[in-house]
Amino acid sequence: MAMSERDVIDFLALERELRAAVESERTHQRENEAKLRAVGQRVASYREFRDLVLSCHLKPLEKKDKDGVPRKQPWNPVAPSNK
């Protein structure tokens, strides 16, 4: 019995498709939870609601992320240095 190309399973493509589907589901869940929180907070306008949903992927900084760490890039790299 001869196997055609249609009978061969491309496991790498299948894995990529699965990872994309899982990430899509995570994004959907995260955005839906943000929408429910925004409705519960009774936001004042649609713009505020939209901003909350669009920023739902952001995580707050921890104290170790802010304090005592030297900056790798200045705030305004175009401005002349005062050094």
| Residue spans per domain, the chain | 11-63
DSSP 21-66: HHHHHHHHHHHHHHHHHHHHTT-SSHHHHHHHHHTTT--PPPHHHH
Q: Supply the pTM of this predicted model.
A: 0.60
Q: What is the pLDDT of residues 38-78, one digit of tens each?
A: 999 999 999 999 999 999 998 887 877 766 667 677 677 77
Rounded Cα distance, 4 and 8, in Å: 7
Between 63 and 30, the higher pLDDT residue: 30
The pLDDT, as a whole number, for residue 41 is: 92
Spatial neighbors of 56 by CB under 8 A, at least 6 apart, are 30, 31, 33, 34
